[in-house]
Structure 1
């Protein structure tokens, strides 16, 4: 590698370090600001479960330091979500100089759209899925059992579900990227619709609890979002074709 190439590589590493540091600082600042309300934040997260438990029943903590660390983990998760615009901006600022103009026009909406979709997936899980799943489990449990979930296991379950639904809501972005970069043709994806439907239910059966409600509520949105991705991919492909046509007409012929 030449000396100029090494200097350029080191400059990129320094910029990457600075961008990562700024993103981490943003998350830490929000985390520190939220820490005084860590208990209330966990109570808000536990609200769907508390509504499903019998009157007078509370969640339990089996570890000595669990009542402290679990709210801290939840607060850190909320801080990351709150600081996500800053984190994504730092990522965007790092890669933007190396993108072409048409790639910048597509990349920024995709980054913003993927963020909004992920948050919508978490919101859908919290407001709709949790209430139905916990109510179903509470009604199905034998009357001789008093449910008392452990807060650490509850946090693990919530994080898994948030991640599953957040990624599921990214399906339109994945479909657009596959068609935009020519990895898979849109017509092929339409032909694969039956396999996508079956695959959605298989994935839902793997990542959700063993009840039909949560599996159905993950598989159906995944299928609907796939259809939305196909619709959006059609317009993205048309815009790309128009850009290519404009670029070809702008080329000055050689005399």
Structure 2
């Protein structure tokens, strides 16, 4: 019992260490990116023809922390993934260790891809659609907080949702899930993705559709990638079994 308690305390200490390293990295990136917020701010509003207003000093600080926070999250993802890998490494086989390590750079890449998709495709379409509704009827004024909150609601979730194909490939490669399971869970997955889309978009049907459809495509891509990885694993297993039979 004492041995189990000691092992548990050791694991907690190791987990605490990994969390601290990740948190310190996030704070460093947050402070570093804070210095570049003015340049990033100018780039983000370069095509926006209206002036943004602020209702108080705290709103300025909110904008600064929001922009630098997104940058810090993106830069911290590889470090968080690597720290997680170190923590679980003792419980993994050699094959699982190599497989997991390969996917770490992809997490950052897919997160940036998701942000880019949300910012360059989804966000302009939804914004232009809503502005078209108000044209000739309302005088639209935007506060900096509302504007960037709207932008982040339509871009940041895609950064995390675009990780789905990579996570599916990894779980398939280590045998946790398979294409058959994903196909059976399609209806439930579509329902959950629809709820996510409704939650992150403004309350209008057009915005919901513009987000739901890419999420469904993303899920189907995950199923196809899972099939590819699953078949590849099956071929490797077959290639390993045949020589063993010949040797016997």
For the criterion TM > 0.5, the same-fold answer is yes
RMSD: 3.3
My pick for the range that moved more, 72-81 or 177-186, is 177-186
Paired position in structure 2 for 1:117:
110
- Give secondary structure in 1 for the equivalent of 2:52: coil
- Give secondary structure in 1 for the equivalent of 2:142: coil
Q: Which runs of 5+ in 1 are unaligned?
A: none
My pick for the range that moved more, 208-217 or 75-84, is 208-217
CA distance in 2, matches of 1:184, 1:76: 33
Matching of residues 171-250 of structure 1 within 5 Å: 171-173=164-166, 175-176=168-169, 186-187=179-180, 189-190=182-183, 200=193, 203-242=196-235, 244-245=237-238
1:28 aligns with 2:21: no
Aligned residues: 245
Kept in 1: contact 2:115–2:155 (CA 8 A) = yes
CA distance in 2, matches of 1:10, 1:191: 40
CA distance in 2, matches of 1:17, 1:202: 34
CA distance in 2, matches of 1:164, 1:139: 25
1:66 aligns with 2:59: yes
Paired position in structure 1 for 2:13:
14
Paired position in structure 1 for 2:4:
5
Kept in 1: contact 2:190–2:216 (CA 8 A) = yes
- Post-superposition shift, 1:124? 0.6
CA distance in 2, matches of 1:189, 1:35: 41
Kept in 2: contact 1:201–1:216 (CA 8 A) = no
CA distance in 2, matches of 1:206, 1:141: 23
Provide TM-score, normalisation by structure 2: 0.79
Q: Are residues 7 and 250 of structure 1, via their aligned partners in 2, closer, same or farther at CA, if it must alter by over 3 Å? A: farther
Kept in 2: contact 1:165–1:218 (CA 8 A) = no
Matching of residues 103-114 of structure 1 within 5 Å: 103-114=96-107
CA distance in 1, matches of 2:186, 2:77: 33
Q: Are residues 185 and 98 of structure 1, via their aligned partners in 2, closer, same or farther at CA, if it must alter by over 3 Å? A: closer
1:32-57, Cα deviation, whole Å (9 max, x unpaired): 22323223333334x2xx6344xxx3
CA distance in 1, matches of 2:20, 2:193: 38
Provide TM-score, normalisation by structure 1: 0.77
Q: Are residues 112 and 217 of structure 1, via their aligned partners in 2, closer, same or farther at CA, if it must alter by over 3 Å? A: farther
- Post-superposition shift, 1:125? 0.8
Q: Are residues 197 and 86 of structure 1, via their aligned partners in 2, closer, same or farther at CA, if it must alter by over 3 Å? A: closer
Q: Which runs of 5+ in 2 are unaligned?
A: none
Paired position in structure 1 for 2:36:
37
Q: Are residues 136 and 29 of structure 1, via their aligned partners in 2, closer, same or farther at CA, if it must alter by over 3 Å? A: same
Kept in 1: contact 2:96–2:174 (CA 8 A) = no
